[in-house]
Amino acid sequence: MGLGDFVCMSDHPDRLYWQRIDRAKNMARYYALAIQPTLFGEVAVVRCWGRIGKGGGEKSDIFNTEREAAAHFRALALKKSKKGYKPVGTCGKTAIGSDPETTNP
């Protein structure tokens, strides 16, 4: 599965959400990426991560152009996919193929 498969799963290719779950290791993590404009005309790549159901970390990287931000976004996405994170939907939307009544955003 290539990076294009992750991007195509989203209605918004500038927002992606992954999970990595390994019950044997008691691991249940999420990782989210988004490209957003800043108030000053720059472009931010915002990433959030943590244990599913708990608060986590957040970091923003600021770029002068969308092209630079998109390249950074793709590099981060590729890195996480290589670590075993699986796409489950987009930030703020329910997981693909899940019941919206039982899925927390």
Residue owning tokens 């290791």 = 25
Per the CB < 8 A criterion, the answer to whether 30 and 47 are in contact is no
pLDDT of residue 99: 39
pLDDT of residue 89: 65
Instruction: For Cα atoms 6, 10, 14, give the angle at the middle one, nearest 5 degrees.
Output: 90
CA 78, 66, 30, 16 torsion-angle sign: negative
The pLDDT tens digits along the chain (105 residues) read 344 444 433 334 688 999 999 999 999 999 999 999 999 999 999 999 999 999 899 999 999 999 999 999 999 999 999 999 988 865 544 443 443 333 343
pLDDT of residue 62: 97
